[in-house]
Structure 1
């Protein structure tokens, strides 16, 4: 079903509007009869699309189906083979690609203002001068004069507010404006790309896999920010929880066509399943009719009679329809060989510590990992998740504490940066170098057939890795990983770029896996569906174990905050009650008599103090054998006694107020 069907009613109303009552709103973005082909496969096949103001549209589809190509066409960075791409005149549009490119020599501030047009040079220079003013030995007078000149130029071109926008965006994403882009991590570069897009205050935002390389905290912050921004969105994501929270409509790209599904992802899944079932029934009917007609045409003489010409033309039409029909792509068939079982104990850590310089990565961590455990590792970027895993697997020596490894451990790694893939290598060589076969368990399979299980067509098996999309590279890396037996799997962000259907298959595979699993992922749904326990960063090098997945960890955190608030509230209440009791309690008979006697006692001491002070001024007192020292000691004692009596008087008086 094409998206045009979902907008047909509105189009009819636009063509025949009720006179002088209301007109149709103008869309922000539109694709009309759009066509894009990759080789012989059409990615967009005369497709139509509209994005209206206020919409948040999730674009989903299989890896390699053309989602990124569609975004590039709408953003103006990619071309259509045919059809039209249109945007509303004057629309402020921002686009964040899947792998944003930056000049490594630029600072973060310079990169953010690069997208601000002609004012970007002035903004970068203004920021540099502002930074120089903070240096002690700078020529402040000259710099201030230059800064005033730059501010005037920015006001002339109407870009002065852009400086504040850029600084707010950088602060919002916790970036250092002076840091060089080349020193940033993958997660920081993704945040930089988002900051660059949002600094221009766009009306419409196109996001291609915005959650890749972001930690869970950053993803949740991004969700809240986009929900409250009012920006119209078209985004591609594999993160089902991110999709569910943001999407007001889902558009699926399937075999070159766009289909629109209003509402949630769950509603889309139910409706899509029904559509595929109906499509399968119609295809079976068409195939049955075609087979009957093919039998009839082969009868020869009867088919050549004039009265049968109409039936022959119908047969030719059925053949043409069958040739044009693109059947649904098959599902990936994943299989994983756990090999020989490891020992029951995989690893045991006791009071382990690890630091790099002044930064503590692991502090006094103790754990015991058993065969079959499925462990999720949660923490912000830079917390040390990879370091912790290397300590657990004995690949990194601890500064202190003990690490004991089990027996018969065979480890396989999935690297989120795909460092194991040579861009120039052919797919078949990546999977099985020097051989045409792979062995999975007790089954021997040809490498091309094995690649087909991971949705790589035979004609692509000898293509280079560099020709693959991000999702296809992840599928290839999974195929390479699963082609070797391993009883311990370490998966570092395996979900990046994978389509939702493949994600669900991978979840099922890992649930059934007999070995031990370590999973680092920002995909909250994936964690909940796979892991049985979680190791989470508590900050300052502290790590703690929790039973269950992400939702269980989140619930524990919420319960802990609630308990802390309740304890703090109870403590404050207890203090208030104690103060009230002390204030409102009546004096006893003895305390009342003590209070009445205190003024007399204080007066007597003050009188004695005056007399002794006068005696101390007499020179004769300090003569040989005089009492000067005794008098001074008595005066000091009187001072102390007076202080005690005054404090007691204040306390008793306060209780009678």
Structure 2
């Protein structure tokens, strides 16, 4: 292992009434490419500030090789006191060379003469990147570098980092970004840190091994710790296992939609009859829209069916928002027509967390101050419902202002997903979410009964959720591809004649037109068809029993019932896991018979 140019030994810092983390040893070598992973609140941003020397530790020793320049790219660059973005970039005694800033700003597509006070999140992010990279760092600490960037800017940043001669550590929810660039992983977990010299692509398998080992060791520990570890395993490992089944189902849905689409970039509007299962909810016929003489959308046709999950991708300014407004009826086309189902009831989830008053409590926001939440027609106890979004039961009376940005995002999702709807519109839903919350969002979208429209630059999230991708390139043409971002990227490479030069993309599910299948045996087919409903019933029973356990007086008032409920929940989880594994095996078997 190369000698460290930046290190911290026995690092510890106190936050609030206790240690945020303690006894951390971190060593960064000259060419390290590290992913820093940890749940919201684990202290990732604080650790970055300690490594950068911005805040002092309560214990431990920081050492830096003389002449080493450590640069921190903040998640939210502060523009206070700066008239323009260039003023921000050139502020401070360590300001970079103006020509370096201008060169990078031109490449990443940002006008540095823009007024800082009115700059968008994406413009501030680009200005922060231009300043950080122009400083020629030896160690670059990047906190959510792809937040608010479009696909073109993310591609540029990835290419720059591949050529970068220094070391970098990245905190990011963008799995594709981390998988493509990192070669080692730092995992900040429950006040400690682990390092493994594998890129982020191997992180899931590593954490599952760690949790499995801890689960075995927990049998020798007290019940409270066992319960905590079991919750972690259920919330991370088991969720990923269930998502494998959802990905298999997503592959089937994509195959069905591929069969409905005509030649590349077109759709057969009249191919599918409007029966109960496939009734169209949005139909676009030869739609065109222009602004200021520029054609934004040209001759776009598509029938969106109930249950479709549509991803909209493209660089900033190519017309994604225009297309979304056309599909939801907010904007009328210049020519062609948009037909919306009369029963369409939409919920739009964007980044407007300001709608949740900081002074209100979680209970007021989610349940109007009560104990029960009506979740799309199903009554649930607020503590049980919030558990589904990875909140502890004692958070219900916390004020919104005390929550982190990621927690507010999760709470917004919990509130909006409870509302009755059959159309869900997600506008950049993954910003500010940690990886575990992204797993949760993927799961909730997969289980949503209605139709979903998603505008996102998160390539991995699109690969794992959408059945059709609508790709815009600014020419007015909309490419219609059955599948996710990787499928659209492959289509672009084919159209450009560069299929052999295509980047390696994470593509969890291959999409092909359906082929005739050799039948499963009677028993296998029965289980394959029936297990999903059985799993749903088991999970409903688990949720019911967990709601009963949420009663804070149950343990002291009726310890026998408390113990019985815990035993029933554990048995149900074992039964559910066996059923899921059986279904996954059958899904793989059915796919192999194709």
Q: What TM-score do the two structures reach when normalised by structure 2?
A: 0.72
C-alpha change, 1:460 and 1:491, in structure 2 (3 Å) is same
How far 1:327 sits from its partner (Å)?
7.6
In structure 2, which of residues 423, 429, 432 is the aligned counterpart of residue 497 of structure 1?
432
Change (3 A) 1:287 1:420: same
Instruction: Tell me which moved more, 413-422 or 382-391.
Output: 413-422
1:187, 1:381 within 8 Å by CA — same for their partners in 2? no
Equivalent residues of 1:255, 1:326 under 8 A apart: no
The answer (yes or no) to whether the contact 1:379–1:537 under 8 Å persists in 2 is yes
Is structure 2 residue 175 aligned with structure 1 residue 240? Answer: yes
Asked whether the equivalents of residues 215 and 229 of structure 2 are also in contact (C-alpha less than 8 Å), the reply is: no
Residue in 1 that maps onto 2:534:
none
For residues 499 and 487 of structure 2, what CA distance do their matches in structure 1 show?
A: 18
Q: Aligned partners of 1:237 and 1:223: how far apart in 2?
A: 13
**Residue 40 (structure 1) shift:** 5.1
Give 1:183 shift.
3.3
**Partner of 2:503 in structure 1?**
none
From 2, 6, 28, the equivalent of 1:51 is 28
**Structure 2: 5+ residue runs without aligned partners?**
243-275, 501-594
Question: Which whole-Å CA distance do the structure 2 matches of 1:463 and 1:72 have between them?
Answer: 27
Provide closer, same or farther for how the CA distance between residues 496 and 563 of structure 1 changes in structure 2, counting only shifts above 3 A. Answer: closer
Per the alignment, residue 449 of structure 1 pairs with: 384
State the partner residue of 1:71.
Answer: 48
Deviations 1:286-325 (A, max 9, x none): 449xxxxxxxxxxxxxxxxxxxxxxxxxxxxxx9xx79x9
Q: Which residue of 2 aligns with 1:644?
A: none
* Counterpart check, 1:94 vs 2:74: no
Report the CA distance shift for 1:436/1:487 in structure 2 as closer, same or farther (over 3 A): same
Q: What SS class does the counterpart of residue 409 from structure 1 fall into? A: coil
Structure 1 residue 172: deviation in Å? 2.1
Cα 1:104–1:522 change in 2 (3 A) is farther
- CA change 1:238–1:198 in 2 (3 A) is same
In the TM superposition, residue 50 of structure 1 has moved relative to its aligned partner by 1.4
Distance (Å, rounded) in 2 between the aligned partners of 1:471 and 1:356: 36
**Structure-2 residue corresponding to 1:363:** 298
Which has the greater radius of gyration? 1
Shift in Å, 1:471: 1.7
- Report if the CA contact (8 A) 1:115-1:196 is conserved: no
Q: For residues 535 and 452 of structure 1, what CA distance do their matches in structure 2 show?
A: 34
What secondary structure, in the 3-state scheme, does the structure 1 residue paired with 2:102 have?
Answer: helix
Distance 1:434 1:533, change over 3 A: same
Contact 1:104 1:180 in 2 (8 A): no
Is 1:80 aligned to residue 15 of structure 2? Answer: no
Q: Which residue of the other structure, out of 410, 422, 445, is the alignment partner of 1:475?
A: 410
Work out which of the residue numbers 466, 485, 491 in structure 2 matches 1:531.
466
| 2:38 counterpart residue number | 61
State TM-score, norm by structure 1: 0.65
The answer as to 2:357 corresponding to 1:380 is: no
- Counterpart selection for 1:218 from 135, 146, 153: 153
Check 1:54–1:564 CA distance in 2 against 1; reply closer, same or farther (3 A cut). closer
The answer to whether the aligner puts 1:331 opposite 2:235 as a matched pair is yes
SS at match of 2:373: strand
In structure 1, C-alpha distance between the alignment counterparts of 2:316 and 2:93, rounded to whole Å: 29
Do 2:326 and 2:332's aligned partners in 1 also have CA atoms closer than 8 Å?
A: yes
Q: Deviations over 1:171-192 (max 9, x none)?
A: 1211113222233322221111
Task: Identify which range, 69-78 or 502-511, moves more after superposition.
Answer: 502-511
Does residue 171 of structure 1 match 2:106?
yes
Deviation at 1:47, TM superposition (A): 1.6
User: Which secondary structure state, in structure 2, belongs to the residue aligned with residue 539 of structure 1?
Assistant: coil
Distance 1:504 1:453, change over 3 A: closer
- 1:510 pairs with one of 440, 445, 449: 445
Question: Which residue in 1 is equivalent to 2:547?
Answer: none
Q: CA offsets, 1:578-602, max 9 Å, x none?
A: xxxxxxxxxxxxxxxxxxxxxxxxx
- Quick check: 2:296–2:474 contact (8 Å CA) kept in 1? no
Q: What's the counterpart of residue 574 of structure 2? A: none
Instruction: In structure 1, list runs of 5 or more residues that go unmatched.
Output: 1-9, 11-23, 121-158, 289-318, 336-340, 566-657
Would you say 1:432 and 2:409 are equivalent positions? no
Compute the RMSD of aligned alpha carbons: 3.0
Tell me if the contact between 1:64 and 1:472 (Cα under 8 Å) persists in the aligned partners. no
Distance 2:364 2:8 in 1: 40
